[in-house]
Amino acid sequence: MKRVSASLPRYGSRRAAWITAIAVAAVLLASPARADRCDDLAQQLKSQIDGVSIGKTVANLIYLSHPAAKSLRLGCPSRTVKNEVFGIAPSRKPSAEFQDLIARASAIVFTIPKADTLRGVKRCFGRVGLLRGNDVKSRFRRLDMRCIRGKTDSSISVSRDKSE
């Protein structure tokens, strides 16, 4: 018995070439990978404020360091806030350099003039004391500011609500 070979066209090689061409086109036309918006903000803070260095990133926080601050961090957007700048001053009464650092960082993150953020930071720290207590919440230029004074240090948190 003779073997009869059917003359069927070979579509397998054509199909493989077509799939390969689509995959190559997808790779070439894909947009380049971009850093997260929060990482971009951290890079801006590093480049525009002298002495700021970027630490590690954990969950929605990027830890920063600066000589005027005991601790400094940038909070990334979450369900409730857009961004947050948090800093701890090494002394009970924050220095002018620390207040300037927080004002500059807030101005960059929230795109508000530095003079306005500096006024808000000074106002928040100025309210902490005997009359209003050691935990003061204030609102200035659509920014929520919370100043806390402990036994050895003081901290400030500047954030903006997600709804704004």
Mind listing the pLDDT tens digit for each residue in 53-70? Answer: 999 988 889 999 999 999
Is 114 inside a domain boundary?
Answer: yes
Alpha-carbon distances, residue 118 vs 30, 72, 96, 100, 141 (angstroms): 43, 17, 10, 6, 11
In 3-state terms the chain splits into helix, strand, coil percentages (rounded to 5) of: 35, 30, 35
Average pLDDT for 133-142: 87
Q: How confident is the model at residue 34 (pLDDT cuts 50, 70, 90)?
A: very low
Please state the φ and ψ torsions of residue 42, each to the nearest 5 degrees. -65, -40
| Number of domain units in the chain | 1
Burial group, residue 147, by CB count within 10 angstroms (0-12, 13-18, 19+): buried
Q: What is the pLDDT of residue 32?
A: 46
Is 24 inside a domain boundary?
Answer: no
Q: Is the dihedral of CA 120, 60, 162, 110 positive or negative?
A: positive
Is 30 inside a domain boundary?
Answer: no
Of 26 and 153, which is predicted with more confidence? 153
Burial group, residue 72, by CB count within 10 angstroms (0-12, 13-18, 19+): buried
Mind listing the pLDDT tens digit for each residue in 86-133? Answer: 999 999 999 999 999 999 999 999 999 999 999 999 999 999 887 878
Is 77 inside a domain boundary?
Answer: yes
Is 108 inside a domain boundary?
Answer: yes
Q: How confident is the model at residue 162 (pLDDT cuts 50, 70, 90)?
A: confident
The residue segments making up the domain with residue 120 are: 37-161
Residues forming a β-bridge with 57: 62
Is 8 inside a domain boundary?
Answer: no
* pTM greater than 0.85: no
Is 15 inside a domain boundary?
Answer: no
Is 91 inside a domain boundary?
Answer: yes
